[in-house]
Amino acid sequence: MREYAEEVKRHLTDNARVLEVAPGPGYFSIRLAKMGNYNITGMDISADFVAICKTNAQREKVNINVVQGNVSAMDFEDNTFDFVFCSAAFKNCKEPVTALREMHRVLKNNGTALIVDMNHDVSKEKLAAEAAKISKTGFERWFMRHTFKVLCRGAYSKNELENMVQQTLFKQSEIKEAGIGFYLLTK
């Protein structure tokens, strides 16, 4: 999460309003809150994750507004946020184009969205290399490679993402491959 927070921080100014979609336990939002003076909101569809994120933020003594909601029908006004971030959850959106349109709607006119997720088209070699980075033993390595393979199978390809973004009002987008995933940066 430190790497993601550093990337997002480069796009922010003091008092920027940031929305993290699907923060889970809140590790990214907590890390970002410790790096600057930002107004951070986390929105998760899971009531359990909302509670966990709130507890973790309180324990870390950071101020994060955490709400329950669906990225495909957000309960925020238009032009609310300077930045929207989503990590490892976009592949789970049942209506990904609607989710992207909602992200655009809640962003201010000069706002940016960053989506980081798995890449459907990742090679076997990259899967193996990523598993080797975090696993020491043969079984662990095999298990992680298999887990990554399953997750990537449910993710989107670069072409699918490009097609989805074209169906929105985002004017600019860049998709960078990173390891076994991608960064989708849109404005």
Amino acid at 148: F
> pLDDT by residue (tens digit) across 156-173?
999 999 999 999 999 889
Whole-number pLDDT of residue 136: 74
Smallest CA-to-CA distance from 184 within 120, 106, 108 is with 120
Three-state SS letters, 79-110: CCEEEEEEECCHHHCCCHHHHHHHHHHHEEEE
Angle among Cα 28, 156, 121 to the nearest 5 degrees reads 110
Q: Could you say which residues of the chain have pLDDT below 70?
A: none
> pLDDT by residue (tens digit) across 106-130?
999 989 999 999 898 888 888 888 8
Amino acid at 138: G
From CA 78, how far away is CA 109, in angstroms rounded? Answer: 10
CATH, domain 2-119+156-186, list 3.40.50.620, 3.40.190.10, 3.30.360.10, 3.40.50.150: 3.40.50.150
Domain boundaries, the chain: 2-119+156-186, 121-154
- For CA atoms 3, 66, 109, 100, give the dihedral sign: positive
Whole-number pLDDT of residue 81: 98
For 37, the token pair is 């003076």
**CA quadruple 128, 131, 133, 134: dihedral, nearest 10:** -170
**Matching residue, tokens 């960078």:** 176
